[in-house]
Structure 1
């Protein structure tokens, strides 16, 4: 069963009228990920949150960067006995209320003078009052709440709920199997996967593999030089929805 917090997020109006037909992205859930993550979601018809794979320490599942004093600042959600020997959906949070209080203060210090601080603060707050039992669910909820704010619809599912029978397959083979189970003939991956997955291998199995790459995104923050690749939180703090839509569309797939 999906947490109740997800249910109101299921039927929204997708910004992009024409995502790639019969396409899927399969990606680990990250907490308030960067803009490029949302560009990937924006480009496909189906999204599978890969929550039954091993947790990655010092990755982006439970942490991200915001702007503080003109520089990157890393925030980290505390976890109980996090280990790369556990699956993402097996890892629980600890000291939740203490973290929320601290993070709320960090956001205020960092963004109180940003043009969209108040409304984005409320969006973020709505994530932490939601229902979630593990870091995977919290990360997914953070993504869905941002999508709701941006009026993006996602046809989404969790690999642990819908595709558990594919566990144990090699990485590429599992992605191909899930794509076929969804009747998708196009699989889109972040550009960083070029060294892991090969177009010829996917093509042998009837799947067109594409890699998404962000454009040279830039926007005004404060008076500092632009700091790229921060959490979507930063993008929303400094841009109205119309501008965020423009930024969402600044990518190429090849």
Structure 2
């Protein structure tokens, strides 16, 4: 059984969904510390030919809180972000279909950051036809005081995983010999560039899934998710 574990992100790039589709069980961290300046509540879209950051504003709170303990700001207005996306993508070929997904996510009735991101992730996978089960990390029966590689190994063993798959950026975080000692094969997924036309301008890669879906039919996106990567 192949397993992957990741932090939740706000409409992440296509490689995140390649990782989900490549495994038999995907675990998403809720009991992990929120990190500033990361991509948990931010991502990039295309606006006037350049990449632009969009974000979910958060209520001011302690920096040591877990993701599941953070809340969206009281003044967060989904309509404002939807208007920004409308202005950026209204002329995109798959605008209507993609905006239906985005709007249903942004207008969900929760202020909890993790609940918001989890709903977005599940909805995006359903939109893409990805059926990999998604489990929340706090529901796994392990010692949750563990951190880093030790926590990953504990989750793998609790789930009965024979293979742990991580994004290519995690190569420096894990030691393959430690996984092998536990009878687990450590693999990494490396996405290949999925280029497509963006209003006839020079291509801006690795933007949010929102951008990918605005310019490509779901079937083509799913084909890229299933095939456009290497497993190392």
User: Which TM-score band (shorter chain)?
Assistant: over 0.9
Residue equivalent to 2:186: 209
Any idea what SS the aligned residue of 2:122 has? Answer: helix
Q: Is the 8 A contact 1:57 1:83 kept in 2?
A: no
Residue equivalent to 1:126: 104
The total of aligned residue pairs comes to 231
List runs of 5+ in structure 1 lacking aligned partners.
1-21
Residue equivalent to 1:159: 137
**What is the RMSD computed on CA atoms of the aligned residues?**
1.3
**Deviations 1:218-248 (CA, angstroms, capped at 9, x unpaired):** 1111121110110000000000012102211
**Deviations 1:199-220 (CA, angstroms, capped at 9, x unpaired):** 1111111110101000122111
Q: Is the 8 A contact 1:72 1:230 kept in 2?
A: yes
TM-score w.r.t. length of structure 2: 0.95
Matched, 1:191 2:203: no
How is 1:1-254 mapped onto 2 (pairs within 5 angstroms)? 22-95=1-74, 97-98=76-77, 100-163=78-141, 165-248=142-225, 249-254=227-232
List runs of 5+ in structure 2 lacking aligned partners.
none
Once residues 44 and 148 of structure 2 are traced to their aligned partners in structure 1, the CA distance between those partners, rounded to angstroms, is 28
Once residues 143 and 26 of structure 2 are traced to their aligned partners in structure 1, the CA distance between those partners, rounded to angstroms, is 16
Change (3 A) 1:227 1:54: same
Any idea what SS the aligned residue of 1:195 has? Answer: coil
Which ranges of 4 or more aligned residues in structure 1 deviate by more than 4 Å? none
Any idea what SS the aligned residue of 2:79 has? Answer: helix
TM-score w.r.t. length of structure 1: 0.87
Once residues 246 and 221 of structure 1 are traced to their aligned partners in structure 2, the CA distance between those partners, rounded to angstroms, is 19
